[in-house]
A and B are shown apart, each in its own frame.
Chain A
């Protein structure tokens, strides 16, 4: 049984939509950031897949995935620091406007 690029892309699409669902519906700021991580991992998986199947010698997708990982790591770090700052200010990390007073 041969697994083509469509199978990897399918896994990435499912991961991306699950992450999008989490971003849209969760009310906990940390859960939203974790769902964002899910989406970014799906994007990286797509880049690596296309790189492996289309340009295995140049490895452009892998190089770009390295850069994307660095940017996402910075994003998650700053996001969590902001969550901590918001928690110190308001005493809550809920994203609903009702509780964030």
Chain B
């Protein structure tokens, strides 16, 4: 009564995730960093597929890997200054690295302590249809609130980014 995750596929996707994140942080060009970020999002969508969360994988590709990176690229191009360009020197901070590394180690220790108690992957009895029934059954009110938040943020984004005529 258990399934397994394919090891090589997971290794490839994990390498793509972490390598893409490192590439994003070490990219000297902000536009390259945005492209690396969308590569990370695609790899995470693959991990969602491994976890049999097909709906989330599709949403990840549609929203994070495409819509969000288009918006980010737009903002990068709108805020470019002609004399500088998007390229900047690579800057590395030792203090920030130590802090982030410690946080990651503590996070992994706390999580893996729980994770090691779970031995086998249970069989997935339901799929996307069941998720939809849950979303529009038990979780209808939070879903509507989330939709309201998206609408409010859309209006706010339009209001903030409008041209101010002085």
Q: Interface of A with B (CB < 8 Å)?
A: 1-22, 24-25, 27-28, 30-31, 33-35, 37-38, 41, 44-46, 48-49, 51-54, 56-59, 62-63, 65-67, 69-71, 73-78, 80-85, 87-88, 91-93
Whether A70 contacts B150 by the Cβ 8 Å rule is: yes
Tell me which residues from 19 to 71 in chain B have a Cβ below 8 Å from any Cβ of chain A.
21-22, 24-25, 30, 33-34, 37, 40-41, 44, 47-48, 51-53, 55-56, 59-60, 63-64, 68, 71
Specify which chain A residues have a CB less than 8 angstroms from the CB of B122 in the assembled complex. 53, 56
Q: Is the CB of A24 within 8 A of B10?
A: no
| A-B residue pairs in contact (CB < 8 Å), sample of 17 | A1-B8, A2-B7, A4-B121, A13-B104, A13-B107, A13-B111, A16-B104, A24-B100, A25-B93, A28-B88, A30-B76, A37-B37, A63-B139, A71-B146, A74-B152, A84-B78, A85-B160
| Shortest Cβ distance from A92 into B: residue | B81
Q: List the B side residues contacting A51 at CB < 8 Å.
A: 53
Q: Which residues of B contact A (CB under 8 A)?
A: 4-8, 10, 14, 17-18, 21-22, 24-25, 30, 33-34, 37, 40-41, 44, 47-48, 51-53, 55-56, 59-60, 63-64, 68, 71-72, 75-76, 78-79, 81, 88, 91-93, 96-97, 99-101, 103-105, 107-108, 111-112, 115-116, 118-119, 121-126, 130-131, 134-135, 139, 142-143, 146-147, 149-150, 152-154, 156-158, 160-161, 163-164
CB A14 to nearest CB in B, in angstroms, measures 5
Judge whether B76 and A74 touch: CB under 8 Å: no
Chain A residues with Cβ below 8 Å from B97 are 21, 25
Could you say which of A24, A48, A93 has the most chain B C-beta atoms within 10 Å of its C-beta? Answer: A48
- Chain A interface helix/strand/loop/mixed: helix
Q: Closest residue to B157 on the A side, CB-wise? A: A81
| Contacting residue for A19 out of B21, B63, B154, CB 8 A | B21
**A13 and B21 contact, CB distance less than 8 A:** no
